[in-house]
Structures are given as structure tokens and as C-alpha cells.
Amino acid sequence: LSNYTFPPDFRFGVATASYQIEGAWNTDGKGESIWDRMTHQHPDFFFNGDVAADSYHLYKEDVRALKELGVGVYRFSISWPRILPTGDVDVVNKLGIAYYNNLINELLANGIEPMVTMYHWDLPQALQDIGGWPNQVIADYFEEYARVLFTHFGDRVKLWLTFNEPLSFCAGYGEWRAGAPGIDAHGIGDYMSAHTVLHAHARVYHLYDNVFRKKQKGQIGITLDSEWADPFDGTVESKEAAERELQFQLGWFAHPIFSSEGDYPRVMKERILNNSLKEGRTRSRKEVKYVQGTSDFFGLNHYTTNLARSGAVGETPSLIRDAGVQMILDPSWPSSASAWLKVVPWGFRKLLVWIAKEYNNPPVYVTENGFSDHGELRDTNRTKYITSYLSELLKAIHEDGCNVIGYTAWSLIDNYEWMSGYTEKFGMYYVNYSDPARPRVPKDSSRVMAEIIRTRQLPQQY
Ligand code: GCO
């Protein structure tokens, strides 16, 4: 492990998300979200987050754990339908506002800075009923929702993220979309959704920049997820496939916002034009300019690496077919409890260097990185994962000059892992889901993390 020291202003934190921890799905005026609807409609296919870790009632337990870790930042998301139950800005749920005020005040009272994700996948069902993200009008609703958040919480919240992983909720890379019954497999709708999400993100950035920033003095960004893609073999085809995969997976949303050129990556527009959409989903010059530069930092979720080689996947027009890349997991790499998550620390450094080169070394906030297991309290594998990934992050900073300014690990507590329910545990604190009191129990990794935060160096024994 590298024995570099974390820069003095480097921020440490942990991350969670509303649907994955809060529970209280229909309590105190909260409206239905698309995840409530989907999990209740398909109980055979999905677990649900009806109670989850019950953070709605136990948020003080969460803050106690945060205090024990010694984090400076806590990244959590606000449930849109808990604030606006119908999506209509005239129907504000006061008890929802009160919950997040209590959480924010409890954090500040313990010297912890809130980082708020405005949207972590729990769209009000009422907005899905008018078409959801493929319907451009949702951008209006999102801007109105953001204005409510800035108005009520902007005096104390100085770190905002508009969206968590638009790729995962717009497109078919998230397995939970492709296979779930009654949910269309990825396809043309994804390009429409991406259009709406990018425009909605820019609308909220400009709203903050023009109306709130002067008084509230905060920063606003977006969180994009990306695995590293390494060529399957030494052929030119595999090298091109790996680069294409990064442009489709990360460039799709990063290029319009962070690149000096703007718009979608060229290779995407060419291949989409040839494969599935005649208009290639490009944007007008005016819209390209409107979206460019709309983020104060680059939020990055990263977990693992895949190998890439050429190959059209599937016949129907889709993001994966347009990319023409086959992703392969190397079975020799150490595994986690999640089939998609292999432990490949060096891929993290390569991705950070790629982002620095591609987007002129933007300030990068690693907003998620973590390991899943089956809930062991002696979670040595998680400690090995976190320390080895942080070791690569330190090399990216000290040897490659990458401008990484913070790291919030996924996750504080074992929580609802989407399609996998409660079977894959990502927490540094264990939650016993058969105990209605949902106690938060520290795992070994929490003590190691607390030590790293205190000493700002990595322990060398792992
Ligand atoms: C994501 C989401 C998190 C997941 C975490 C583990 O990145 O998919 O932001 O909600 O729970 O990544 O899969």
C-alpha cells in the first residue's frame, strides 16, 4: 500500500441513499415512488424498501455512527416524493421537510457537513404516470423540486449533487432494468431519458448559479458512475472497444458537461446514427452551450473493472448494441458478494488518470466506492478493498497529479441493494434486518476507516 498522506483539505465521508435506508415508505405524507410501485407490483421479483434500515426514525443512530467514524462529510439523498408527494410544487409535505431539517441539524451539531443528492432513483410515481424521464416536461418538475430544496436547506447545505448515476436509471447498463418483468429492456427510451436528465441537470445548475449561489455560497455537481474498461487482449480492436466503452459508459454524460467540445462523444453519435437512431440524438448548438460547464466538481462512483472486446451484443437497437462492446469479467480477479464487483484496484487509478486527461483535470469527488459481502463483522475483505483502492487514489494524486478532492465510501450501513434486496451487504456498520430495532453494529472496517481518517495515512498491515 502506498504510504502517501492524504492532502490536508481532502474530505472523507460515507454515502447512503433515501430509498435504500429510510423506510417509512408511506409515512407522514410521503408520496409513492417508482421503486415503491415496482417492488409492490412484483414482490416475487423484488425485495422492497418499505422499512429498510428505518433511518427515517433512526437517523440519530446513523449520525452517532458517522461521529464514531470521524467523517467530515455525509452524502445522503432526499426522497423527492417525501418532499413533493404528487410531484406538484404546490403540495409540499411539511413532515418531509421537517425530517431532512432534523437530519441536517443533527449532522451540523456533530461537525459533519451534509452532501445532498437530489435524485437517487426514487421518482414520484405521479411523474412516471405522465411518462417519466423520456418526457422532457419532467425537467420542469425537477427544477421546481430543486428550488424547494435550495429554499429550505440551502442555508446549511453547501454541497449538492443533482443526479446519482443517470446511466443506471436511464439505460440498460443497470441489470435491474433489463431483466425485471414489466420494465422495458433498455432501448430508444434511454436516449430520450438521457436528453431530459442532462437538460434538467443544466436547468438546476443555472438556477443555483443565478439565484442562490451568491447568498448560499455552495457548490453543485453531478455524480456519474463508471467502471474501468481494459482491453481484453493486445489487439487494436480490443483497445478501441475499451475506449468506446468508456465513451458510452462515462462520456455519454461527462462529455456534454465537462469537455471543452461539449455534446455527446463523437463515437457515440456515429454509432447510434448507424445503428439505431437516424437523428443520432445530437443537441442544438444552443443546448450544447447551455449544458457545458454545469458542474463545480466531477462526482464519480467507481467499484470495479471489466475487460472489453468488440462484438455487437443483441439485435434490437439499444445502448449496448450501439456500443458494440462485449464486457468480460476476469474470473481470476478476487470476487465480492456481487457478481459484477471484482476487486481490481489498479483500474481505479487508470480511470482517474483517464478523467484527468479527457476533461482537463477537473476536481473529482469520489462519491461512491465500496465492497459487498454477506455481513461479516470481521470484514477483512472490505478493509483490503478500501485500503487498496485508496492506495491507488493516493498514487493518482501524488504521482499522476489528479485533482481528487474527496472520498465518500459506499456505504455507512448495510442497506437495500436494489434488485439484490438485503442479500448483498455494503455497510461498514452491520444492520440486523430481523431485529425491528435495526441496531447499527460496527464492523472491523469501520475502525480501520476511522484510523485512516484520523491519521490521514493507510495502515500498512493489509
Ligand atoms: C449505485 C448506487 C448505489 C448502490 C451501490 C452498490 O452505484 O448503483 O449509487 O445505490 O447501492 O453502488 O451497488
The ipTM (two decimal places) reads 0.94
Q: How far is 284 from 288, CA to CA, in rounded Å?
A: 6
Q: For a pLDDT cut of 90, what percent of the chain falls above it?
A: 82
**Cα 143 to ligand 1 centroid, rounded to whole Å:** 24
| Residue 300: pLDDT over 90 | yes
Nearest to 151 by CA among 222, 107, 97: 97
Write out residues with Cβ below 6 Å of ligand 1: 17, 20, 164-165, 168, 225, 301, 368, 410, 417, 426
* pLDDT value at residue 331: 93
| Residue 453: pLDDT over 70 | yes
Bridging pattern class, strands 73-77 and 429-431: unpaired
Q: Please give the residue that has the higher pLDDT: either 247 or 192.
A: 247
Convert 392-409 to b/e letters by CB count within 10 Å (16 or more is b): bbbbbbeeeebbbbbbbb
Altogether, the residues listed in the chain come to a count of 462
List beta partners, residue 222.
Answer: 298
* pLDDT value at residue 179: 38
Q: Please give the residue that has the higher pLDDT: either 462 or 357.
A: 357
71-116 pLDDT, tens per residue?
A: 999 999 999 999 999 999 999 999 999 999 999 999 999 999 999 9
| Residue 183: pLDDT over 50 | no
**Cα 233 to ligand 1 centroid, rounded to whole Å:** 29
- The vertex-179 CA angle with 177 and 181, nearest 5°, equals 95
List beta partners, residue 76.
Answer: 116
pTM to 2 decimals? 0.95
Nearest ligand 1 atom, CA 164: 9
**Cα 270 to ligand 1 centroid, rounded to whole Å:** 30
Nearest alpha carbon, ligand 1 atom 13: 417
Let me know if 68 is a catalytic residue.
no
Hey, what's the cell of 140? Answer: 420542469
Q: For a pLDDT cut of 70, what percent of the chain falls above it?
A: 93
Lowest mean pLDDT among 128-137, 330-339, 435-444: 128-137
- The vertex-223 CA angle with 152 and 98, nearest 5°, equals 20
10-48 pLDDT, tens per residue?
A: 999 999 999 999 999 999 999 999 999 988 988 888 899
Q: What is the largest CA-CA distance in the chain?
A: 59
Q: Where are the alpha helices (DSSP H) in 163-251?
A: 166-170, 175-179, 188-207, 213-216, 236-246
* pLDDT value at residue 188: 55
Q: Which of 368, 415, 426 to mutate to test the pocket of ligand 1 (most atoms within 8 A of CB)?
A: 368
According to DSSP, residue 12 is labeled: E
Q: How far is 20 from 248, CA to CA, in rounded Å?
A: 27
Q: How far is 173 from 314, CA to CA, in rounded Å?
A: 13
Nearest alpha carbon, ligand 1 atom 4: 417
What value does the mean pLDDT take over residues 255-283? Answer: 83
Number of H helices, E strands in the chain: 19, 13
Q: Which of 410, 414, 415, 420 to mutate to test the pocket of ligand 1 (most atoms within 8 A of CB)?
A: 410
* pLDDT value at residue 54: 98
What value does the mean pLDDT take over residues 350-376? Answer: 98
Choose, from 61, 113, 368, 417, the residue flagged as catalytic. Answer: 368
122-142 pLDDT, tens per residue?
A: 999 999 999 888 889 999 999
Q: Please give the residue that has the higher pLDDT: either 241 or 281.
A: 241
Hey, what's the cell of 263? Answer: 455534446
Tell me the DSSP string of 267-300: HHHHHHHHHT-TTTT---HHHHHHHTT--SSEEE
* pLDDT value at residue 431: 98
Q: Please give the residue that has the higher pLDDT: either 190 or 278.
A: 190
| Residue 175: pLDDT over 50 | no
